[in-house]
Amino acid sequence: MSLSIVILAAGKGTRMRSDLPKVLQPLAHKPLLGYVINASMSVNPSQLVIVYGYGGNLVKKAFPSEHIQWVEQKEQLGTGHAVQQAIPLIKDEGCTLILYGDVPLIDQETIQSLIKKGQKNLVVLTYQKENPKGYGRIVRKDDRIQKIVEEKDCDALQKNIKEINTGIMCAPNHLLKNWLKRLNNQNVQKEYYLTDIVGLSIEDNIEVLSESADNEVSITGINSKFELATMERSYQLMTAKKLMEEGVTIIDPSRIDIRGEVTAGQDVLIDVGCIFEGKVILGNHVKIAAYSHVKDSVIGDHTSIEPYSHIVQSVIGENCRIGPFARLRPGTKLQNKVHIGNFVEIKNSEVNNETNINHLSYVGDSLVGKSVNIGAGAITCNYDGANKHPTTIEDDVFIGSNTALVAPIKIGKGATIAAGSTITKDAPPGELTVSRSKQTSISGWTKPTKK
């Protein structure tokens, strides 16, 4: 059967107090609407229609998929009115699932259950909420749904009902189209409520079915920055739980942020305050120490990332030790048994096996060989003010502290560069190269005094 999905995403989100449309507010660095689109596409709908409104150009630009049909709701006249805008695009056969762009964590299993029940009947997604304030209530008689009453229209008895309407529903297209034509705005808000189709279904002697959500977070909408932050924590806990079920040790799952996808091997340990972005792959026995930030990177087996390290678009081999306070910038590739120490920055460089860059150094646009030692404060001067230039350091080289290697330059195999040197020419292999100005002491010199 043909499946259409309509996502309502026209609201401004006034309580967000933001120029950014509500459905583009970020959850784990991804727009809210993106989660709903992904959940929708997971069930392979025949068509996906998004009803947009405020900030429409921004919303459409954020999701330039050819699989999405867009329709504008120029006036905000209620949820029923929003679906009415999409109806001209919906086929007569099949069924339609209605989702919301600010309810990001709706899951595939729930969607599939709704679709199964919504082939011949209207089915609504409900939830038993301990504090139902602000939600429409499900009114039943003999366990059958009779109507949905919005909070503002509830009488005293109806306000005590704990079963709430999530707004998410599925219905056969020919019935849905008929009901939408019959909607009116005779209510306190003077809006066209989508929930009124429940009464119309009963009026037509068609039973209204229900599906109960398994957890509250999957049906929770976001309307404010506080609710967004609360959802962020819920999402992070869910993601951390999934990793822990796969065997990852997370010291405190309430203090981790995963803003993308993390794949981990066996016996991985993640300490508190770590942030993961994009696609991160962690090998077996990897340790990520406190407050480290890893983005779009691969970390090999038995490698340890020490506290406060920052790693972006890098590939790290096995048995390496990085940090603390190390920074690996895009294009960094480390082979095995490499040590990158505190306050060392590597950019767009390959560092081969068993090389040590222990502290306070910068290596950029470089190829560093095996068993190299780069001393404290040594840097590659790769930028001439207009262009970047490469540095090659061959195997078994020793670079003394506070050395400046002015690129383009090559340091030969087994060479030693004396501390404090500024090297502007290639250094021959196996020899000591020194480049310092003559040391001079000036007699009779006095220190300046403070004025």
- Model pLDDT, residue 134: 86
382 is in an annotated binding site: yes
C-alpha 68 chain-centroid distance: 22
100 is in an annotated binding site: yes
pLDDT tens track for 244-270: 999 999 999 999 999 999 999 999 999
73 is in an annotated binding site: yes
CA-CA distances (angstroms) from residue 78 to 167, 194, 195, 295?
12, 8, 10, 41
State yes or no: cis peptide before 408, omega within 30 of 0: yes
Kindly tell me the burial class for residue 166, based on how many C-beta atoms sit within 10 Å of its own C-beta (0-12, 13-18, 19 or more): buried
In this predicted structure, the answer to whether residue 187 has a pLDDT above a threshold of 80 is no
- Model pLDDT, residue 56: 85
Of 369, 360, 365, the residue nearest 406 (C-alpha): 365
Q: What average pLDDT score do residues 186-191 get?
A: 81
Q: What average pLDDT score do residues 126-146 get?
A: 91
9 is in an annotated binding site: yes
CATH 2.160.10.10 correct for 247-433: yes
Residue 274's DSSP bridge partners are 256
In this predicted structure, the answer to whether residue 190 has a pLDDT above a threshold of 90 is no
Residue 118's DSSP bridge partners are none
Which listed residue (81, 174, 359, 389) is catalytic? 359
Tell me the whole-structure pTM to 2 decimals: 0.88
- DSSP letter assigned to residue 406: E
Say if residues 165 and 124 touch (Cβ distance below 8 Å): yes
The reply to whether 3-219 and 247-433 are identical in fold is: no
Sign of the CA dihedral with 247 first, then 253, 256, and 261 last: positive
Domain boundaries, the chain: 3-219, 247-433
| Residue 310 appears among annotated catalytic residues | no
- Model pLDDT, residue 288: 98
In this predicted structure, the answer to whether residue 378 has a pLDDT above a threshold of 80 is yes
In this predicted structure, the answer to whether residue 178 has a pLDDT above a threshold of 80 is yes
pLDDT tens track for 307-322: 999 999 999 999 999 9
Say if residues 269 and 288 touch (Cβ distance below 8 Å): yes
In this predicted structure, the answer to whether residue 185 has a pLDDT above a threshold of 90 is no
Residue keyed to tokens 């000591």: 432
102 is in an annotated binding site: yes
Q: What average pLDDT score do residues 420-425 get?
A: 95
Q: What average pLDDT score do residues 185-200 get?
A: 87
Fold of 3-219: Spore Coat Polysaccharide Biosynthesis Protein SpsA; Chain A (3.90.550)
- What backbone phi and psi angles, to 5 degrees, belong to 34? -60, -35
pLDDT tens track for 205-226: 999 999 999 899 999 999 999 9
- Model pLDDT, residue 451: 76
22 is in an annotated binding site: yes
Identify the three-state secondary structure at position 198: helix
If residue 392 lies in a helix (H) or strand (E), which one and from where to where? Answer: strand 391-393
- Model pLDDT, residue 376: 97
